[in-house]
């Protein structure tokens, strides 16, 4: 379904002459397909503002994947062509617009952040043996694990090459530091798999590394490209961290509550991988029943989750109100993100960032 | 056995006061353990010259792996601690000594080239499902495939971070281009697996990308660190390409002829992975018997090689003289490498590079 995004983006390039209304309609459909229904509603008035930015990014991402014909490139293309929310490029675009605007350096970083994100997805799917991604079979299912490993390596290098070429002081250093942080957090999460007694503190350390760090970098890179002051840049980075943490919590909630079919994956995927999501951690604090059940699921090195057990766990988690509590925390994080914006000059970009923060807890896929 | 290298390197640090003879003895043992027996004989008189360079590199590599305690770092440490020939750092050291010498930038590149090499080994072992590496169980056997994937990602970022920090114009760009080349060549090789009708041309394109490119970069980075002229740098790069191709051919020959136990792997590993090595390509040109046998091995997507079939293939390859022909070509490549040196100023570094080229076809593990 997400390939609609690419098609729509391409179409929207071709219809410049047919007027604004049609383009906006196409963009709205593209945003819907990206799972940004909440975002679409909230961002209706800024869609047009970002239109050219996102179209340019989409065109270049399509171009990256067209480069070659090895299994590495095919795997990467398969994933990139499925679209995705492109939320990180949107972050870069808005951060750059807090400064001088979405210039070529900002565009480069918007593309790079999406390539890094996709690189980690290719490797994660091999690590997790994930079968579905963005509503379609994962690249590793079609081209094999080996192809996905090389595909991830390739996208990482493509991203870094672009960041390097943009030649904005400090941005490459930070990109490398962030990728390192992501890898270390992923490795740490790997080690914690199946350990039921995870704490909220551990959870947030991992989420900060594996998810929030790239959102932070998106804001940093956009700000640096736009030439904002250091204070503005720092506030935007803080916003990015809060936004990323909220994003991860909502992602966890969707493992219990999401529109699974639309998300292209079944529920409890995280639990099947032995990952202690935030709702599980909350629910364990609220109900003593849950811990022994999760221990049963993770007893052997192989995680096994019978339909009966899945149902019982789902009921307990729901009864504790853990998903509601998790979403409330995500909301709080987004409020904190919005608070960071108070340190920024007022204007359209700041308003748009506030709207993005409001939309995150509303995403449903 | 290769961990002797690290031990010896550490020891050689501690015994400065005990005089040259003991240190040289230790270095010779370290070189022996690195599979550089031919090299040791030939380089006896320059061992001492490179002593401090290699000790510094070894110390820093040991330090890299000590950083953290996630599965990514544990996997990387396992591989790095096993030593290895460290031939690429030696190339950096000698190239830098064609200029102003083994300065901090050159040391950084010597470490980085080894980290990149080890990153590719971690990913390759997952791709090939390799069980042994450097005479010990592969990292993926001990810590799992997922850990090796993250370990490779981590080493790649560690390497690039160092190259970036050294801040020598052009060297990071080239590092990224070379890693891209390596990944694409590996992916191409992956796609060609089990296709018996490989041509020598295809073979060399892959070998150039997956192996020679990093040797070329080692020479380039060393030359740039040493501040050589562009002409000297170009000659050194060409030397690196020839050396790398020769290295790959010898590696292929060792899959048939090597001291398997010392190499820490069994024979025919490449063939079991469906890879058409250079001796196989030569032997197919010489004997019509071989093609159908290899087709039998690679008939299904799963490569199967019975002991009987392995023996028959081994006999045919030996009878065609393919390993001798392959080694002769490796020798020729090394002669071409040496010819490149004629464009360089005479001196100890040039002589040493000539000795390295002479030693490559003599390596036996």
Picking from B70, B180, B191, the nearest residue to A157 by CB comes out as: B180
Q: How confident is the model at residue B46 (pLDDT cuts 50, 70, 90)?
A: low
For residue A272, name the pLDDT band (cuts at 50, 70, 90).
confident
Which pLDDT does position B267 carry in this prediction? 64
**Model ipTM?**
0.86
Task: Tell me the percentage of chain A whose pLDDT exceeds 70.
Answer: 83
Burial B330-355 (b: 16+ CB within 10 A, else e): bbebbebbbebbeebeeeebbebbbb
How close is the nearest chain A Cα to the Cα of B69, in Å? 9
Distance of CA A355 to the CA centre of its chain: 17
Distances (CA, A) of A252 to A114, A207, A242, A245, A249: 21, 11, 16, 11, 5
Residues of B in contact with A127 (CB under 8 A): 145-146, 149-150
Give CB contacts under 8 A, 24+ apart, made by A41-45: A41/A359, A42/A355, A42/A356, A42/A358, A42/A359, A42/A362, A43/A352, A43/A355, A43/A356, A43/A359
How many CB atoms are located within 10 Å of the residue B122 CB?
31
- DSSP H or E run through A194: none
Q: Between A71, A149, A191, which is nearest B123 by CB?
A: A149
Q: Which of B1, B11, B142 is CA-nearest to residue B77?
A: B142
- What are A123-147's pLDDT values in tens digits? 999 998 888 888 889 999 999 999 9
**pLDDT, average across residues B125-146:** 91
Helix axes A104-128, A145-166, angle to 10 degrees: 160
| B103 or A365, which is more confident | B103
Å between B154 CA and nearest CA of chain A: 6
CA distance to B255, B284, B319, per residue, from B289 (Å): 20, 8, 11
What is the spatial distance between Cα A266 and Cα A275, in angstroms, rounded to a whole number?
15
Number of other residues whose CB lies within 10 A of the CB of residue A15: 12
A166 pLDDT tier (thresholds 50, 70, 90): very high
Determine the distance in angstroms separating the CA of A152 from the nearest CA of chain B, rounded to an integer. 9
pLDDT in tens, B304-318: 788 888 889 999 999
Q: What is the pLDDT of residues B59-89, one digit of tens each?
A: 999 998 787 889 999 999 999 998 888 899 9
What is the structure's pLDDT at A173? 97
Q: Which tens digits make up the pLDDT trace of B324-344?
A: 999 999 999 999 999 999 999
The rounded mean pLDDT for chain B is: 86
Contacts 24+ apart (CB under 8 A), B344-349: B344/B98, B344/B232, B344/B235, B344/B236, B345/B98, B345/B232, B347/B98, B348/B46, B348/B49, B348/B97, B349/B94, B349/B95, B349/B97, B349/B98
What distance in Å separates the CA atoms of residue B171 and residue B218, rounded to the nearest whole number? Answer: 10
pLDDT tens column, A73-104:
999 999 999 888 889 999 999 999 999 999 99
Segments forming the whole domain that contains residue B105: 3-362
Token pair in block for residue A288: 């003593």
- At residue A25 the predicted structure's pLDDT band, cuts being 50, 70 and 90, is very low
End-to-end CA distance of chain B: 13
| Confidence at residue B257, expressed as pLDDT on a 0 to 100 scale | 74
pLDDT tens readout for residues B223-248: 999 999 999 999 999 999 999 999 99
Contact call for A71 and B183, based on CB within 8 A: no
pLDDT digits (tens, 9 = 90+) for B163-176: 999 999 999 999 99
Choose the closest CB to B190 out of A150, A154, A186: A150
Q: Which residue in B127, B147, B149, B180 has the most chain A C-beta atoms within 10 A of its own C-beta, making it the best mutation to test that interface?
A: B149
Look at chain A and report how many structural domains it folds into.
Answer: 1
Domain CATH for A241: 1.10.600.10
């Amino acid at each position: 379904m997400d390939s609609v995004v690419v098609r729509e983006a391409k179409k929207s390039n071709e219809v410049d002459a047919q007027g604004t209304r049609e383009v906006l309609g196409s963009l709205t459909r593209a945003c819907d397909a990206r799972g940004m229904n909440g975002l679409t509603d909230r961002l209706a008035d800024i869609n047009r503002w970002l239109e050219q930015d996102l179209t340019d990014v989409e065109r270049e991402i399509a171009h990256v994947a067209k480069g070659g014909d090895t299994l590495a490139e095919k795997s990467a293309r398969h994933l990139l062509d499925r679209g995705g929310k492109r939320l990180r490029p949107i972050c870069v675009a808005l951060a750059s617009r807090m400064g001088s605007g979405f210039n070529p350096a900002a565009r480069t970083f918007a593309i790079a952040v999406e390539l890094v994100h996709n690189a980690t997805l290719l490797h994660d799917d091999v690590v997790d043996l994930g079968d579905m991604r963005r509503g379609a079979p994962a690249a590793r299912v079609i081209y094999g694990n080996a192809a996905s490993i090389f595909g991830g390596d390739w996208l990482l290098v493509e991203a870094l090459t672009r960041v390097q070429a943009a030649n904005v002081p400090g941005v490459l250093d930070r990109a490398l530091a962030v990728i390192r942080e992501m890898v270390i957090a992923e490795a740490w999460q790997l080690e914690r798999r199946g350990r039921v007694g995870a704490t909220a503190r551990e959870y947030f350390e991992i989420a900060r590394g594996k998810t929030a760090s790239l959102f932070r970098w998106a804001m940093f890179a956009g700000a640096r490209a736009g030439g904002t002051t250091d204070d503005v840049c720092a506030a935007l980075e803080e916003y990015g961290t809060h936004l990323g943490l909220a994003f991860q919590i909502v992602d966890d909630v969707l493992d219990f509550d999401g529109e699974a079919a639309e998300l292209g994956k079944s529920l409890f995927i995280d639990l099947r991988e032995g990952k202690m999501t935030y709702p599980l951690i909350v629910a364990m604090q609220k109900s003593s029943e849950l811990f022994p059940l999760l221990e049963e699921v993770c007893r052997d090195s192989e995680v096994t989750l019978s339909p009966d057990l899945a149902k019982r766990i789902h009921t307990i988690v729901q009864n504790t109100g853990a998903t509601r509590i998790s979403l409330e925390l995500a909301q709080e994080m987004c409020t904190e993100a919005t608070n960071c914006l108070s340190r920024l000059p007022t204007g359209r970009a700041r308003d748009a960032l506030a709207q993005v923060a409001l939309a995150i807890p509303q995403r449903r896929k």
